[in-house]
Structure 1
Amino acid sequence: METHEAERLAAELAGSPEALRTFLSGLPGVDQVGAEQRAATLATRSIKTTAKQWALDLAVRMVDLTTLEGADTPGKVRALCAKAMRPDPADPGCPPVAAVCVYPTLVPTAVAQLRGSGVHVASVATAFPSGQAPLAVKLDDVRAAVAAGADEVDMVIDRGAFLAGRYEEVFRQIVAVKEACGDAHLKVILETGELVTYDNVRRASWLAMLAGGDFIKTSTGKVAPAATLPVTLVMLEAVRDFRDRTGRQVGVKPAGGIRTAKDAIRYLVLINETVGEDWLDPRWFRFGASSLLNDLLMQRAKMATGRYAGPDYFTLD
């Protein structure tokens, strides 16, 4: 099918709150035990040496190197951008990361540092991390980030509205944010740790995709639990089924709590076994992380030299 099928379906459901509710409630339920067992089984898969080298490089390329702290400064962002472009200065063969993710006020700093590098500039918006602000404020937040040069926007949904069953309200907010993004890609943060059930994760995933999200993202990183393998499995199944139904491919971004190369490889196995090679690409899968990159670099160095470089060898994020 062509991607206009997604637009047709969205328009059909947006016209009626009851139709949208019926559609989302009619999605197949998630087998909690089955999802958790499958994720646990896939997490035990081993990868051979040559495939591991490829997996480590791919994971580096999928990283959204992130700093979202109240104490962030232009200097910190400039240092993060330098690391994003050359993660391991001693190894010119080390690929750059996918993006640097910052608050809107620091987007101009990131844009200036990354210009011409191919590394994207992502900005959180829409009253991150709570999402509790009037829509007009959220849209101003998005427009400011895009005007400053962000080519990716990570928005948060109103979890209170979603959990109260006000699906159309959440849908319309995502549609409005997508419009405010212009040409920038939109990642929709579900904050799965607050959605409680896998069924809610599946419904929120479909809602975000129907409303035009380019990516669905697990978490802000500010709420526990953040990304988990079972939750990401449910989201991967959602993007697979959505593409089968509409012809439109949507990306997935787990964020929060992914700290080691071993963790990252588990997610790559999960992708390959659930949705296939089409999603094994930074255009369709990202890691929202700060500490992950250093462990990936240490594992790369060990494979190249036979010994660990140690955490102090690489700059702190």
Structure 2
Amino acid sequence: MTGTQLASAQERALAILGGEPDDATLRRYLHGIPGVDAVGLEQRAASLGSRSIKTTSKAWALDRIISLIDLTTLEGADTPGKVRSLVAKALTPDASDAQTPRVAAVCVYGDMVPAAVAALGTAHGDPDDGLVSVAAVATAFPSGRSSVAVKLQDTAEAVAAGADEIDMVIDRGAFLAGRYGEVFDQIARVKEACRRPDGGYASLKVILETGELNTYDNVRRASWLSILAGGDFIKTSTGKVAPAATLPVTLLMLEVVRDWHRMTGGRIGVKPAGGIRTSKDAIKYLVTVAETVGEEWLQPHLFRFGASSLLNDVLLQRQKLSTGHYSGADYVTID
């Protein structure tokens, strides 16, 4: 996104809100959104999760899952050596099969960005072009409990170090207290802090931490708020709070993205993160994306899996499929 595009997006948000994004205006808009039919949402998610894909599509699905993964290490014990190992896995997921696609990105803490950039070398770049991005968590991840100044510095330092994407966390306390203007302002200011020297912007993924939002209505409101404030992606979770990603919550967020696209023509990404560990589960998400917003969303700049262990299972199932030891029972069957 360029500065002109960001300004245009901000103007569009103000036009939709019908006023400045203060608490009163945002409350009026967000609480005017129809409530979520929880039973209907969960039934539709269960139905989509039981859909099947053709046997001939399973190889495609496995490769597509790999290409949409943000391979992640977010531990206090992370070291440059661990990040280099993560990057090696991102670039060559299966050393026995050179046709295995690369993952979309590696996701690390901000201070590990230089190590990730150096390890990627010439492979660092746009995952839509077969390269690997560097994503950095920021804004006092995972709690989000710090001053705005610290959050902005955290973001700016990661971008200056070479991060292509910033995964920020919203202030859930402020959101749940109804201080929507404060949350909007922080997202908008973090987006400004994503500005690169060339005038472009690092992609901003806004983490809602849906496990702490308590209701589907809150998830829907937080999704709209994040998009209106300038987020490029909406992301379910930090992976540090249970429940993390669930299919009904991800479906709800995809419906918001679909409605935003219908309203404005803009395309917003979605990233379920935390708890998606098997190929079988990941395929359910692929089907849900395709059926809700369309197959065009199944590309790195519009959909990601935040995962640390998912890749291993996908590689195992891929190997089984290539050797003929694959069992359809390992997956949802998709016709």
How far 1:214 sits from its partner (Å)? 0.5
The equivalent residue for 2:209 is: 191
Higher mean C-alpha deviation, range 7-16 or range 31-40: 7-16
The equivalent residue for 1:8 is: 11
1:201 aligns with 2:219: yes
Residue in structure 1 matching 2:186, options 166, 173, 180: 173
Separation in 1, partners of 2:53, 2:188 = 41
**Which aligned pairs between 1:87-126 and structure 2 lie closer than 5 A?**
87-117=93-123, 118-126=131-139
Partner-residue secondary structure (3-state), 2:206: strand
Higher mean C-alpha deviation, range 248-257 or range 114-123: 114-123
1:60 aligns with 2:66: yes
1:5–1:246 contact (8 Å) kept in structure 2: no
The equivalent residue for 2:229 is: 211
Residue in structure 1 matching 2:154, options 141, 151, 158: 141
Letter in 2 for 1:33: V
Normalization by structure 2: what TM-score?
A: 0.89
- Tell me the alpha carbon deviations over residues 275-310 of structure 1, each in whole angstroms, 9 at most, x when there is no partner: 1112111110000000000000011111111237xx
Normalization by structure 1: what TM-score?
A: 0.94
Separation in 2, partners of 1:169, 1:245 = 25
1:65–1:97 contact (8 Å) kept in structure 2: yes
Separation in 1, partners of 2:189, 2:106 = 24
2:21–2:184 contact (8 Å) kept in structure 1: no
* Shift in alpha-carbon separation, 1:223–1:214, aligned structure 2, 3 A: same
The equivalent residue for 2:80 is: 74
Letter in 2 for 1:88: D
How far 1:5 sits from its partner (Å)? 7.0
1:156 aligns with 2:166: no
Partner-residue secondary structure (3-state), 1:196: coil
1:253–1:285 contact (8 Å) kept in structure 2: yes
Separation in 2, partners of 1:242, 1:5 = 15
**Which aligned pairs between 1:282-301 and structure 2 lie closer than 5 A?**
282-301=300-319
Q: Give the fraction of aligned pairs with identical amino acids, expressed as a percent.
A: 69
Separation in 2, partners of 1:264, 1:196 = 24
1:221 aligns with 2:227: no
1:6–1:246 contact (8 Å) kept in structure 2: no
2:23–2:178 contact (8 Å) kept in structure 1: no
Letter in 2 for 1:39: A
How far 1:21 sits from its partner (Å)? 1.0
Letter in 1 for 2:297: W
Partner-residue secondary structure (3-state), 1:36: helix
Residue in structure 2 matching 1:86, options 89, 92, 100: 92
2:22–2:180 contact (8 Å) kept in structure 1: no
Higher mean C-alpha deviation, range 61-70 or range 271-280: 271-280
The equivalent residue for 2:39 is: 33
1:6–1:247 contact (8 Å) kept in structure 2: no
1:270 aligns with 2:288: yes
- Tell me the alpha carbon deviations over residues 230-259 of structure 1, each in whole angstroms, 9 at most, x when there is no partner: 000000000010111122110000000000
The equivalent residue for 1:50 is: 56
Separation in 2, partners of 1:203, 1:35 = 16
1:305 aligns with 2:308: no
Separation in 2, partners of 1:59, 1:35 = 24
Separation in 2, partners of 1:6, 1:141 = 24
How far 1:17 sits from its partner (Å)? 2.6
How far 1:7 sits from its partner (Å)? 2.9
Q: Gaps spanning 5+ residues in structure 1: where?
A: 309-317
- Tell me the alpha carbon deviations over residues 35-62 of structure 1, each in whole angstroms, 9 at most, x when there is no partner: 0011011111122221111111000000
* Shift in alpha-carbon separation, 1:245–1:164, aligned structure 2, 3 A: same
Partner-residue secondary structure (3-state), 2:97: coil
The equivalent residue for 1:312 is: none
* Shift in alpha-carbon separation, 1:18–1:56, aligned structure 2, 3 A: same
How far 1:109 sits from its partner (Å)? 0.3
Separation in 2, partners of 1:46, 1:3 = 39
The equivalent residue for 1:259 is: 277
Separation in 1, partners of 2:68, 2:107 = 13
The equivalent residue for 2:257 is: 239
- Tell me the alpha carbon deviations over residues 54-86 of structure 1, each in whole angstroms, 9 at most, x when there is no partner: 111000000000000011111111000001011
Partner-residue secondary structure (3-state), 1:216: strand
Separation in 1, partners of 2:284, 2:211 = 20
1:202–1:234 contact (8 Å) kept in structure 2: yes
The equivalent residue for 1:315 is: none
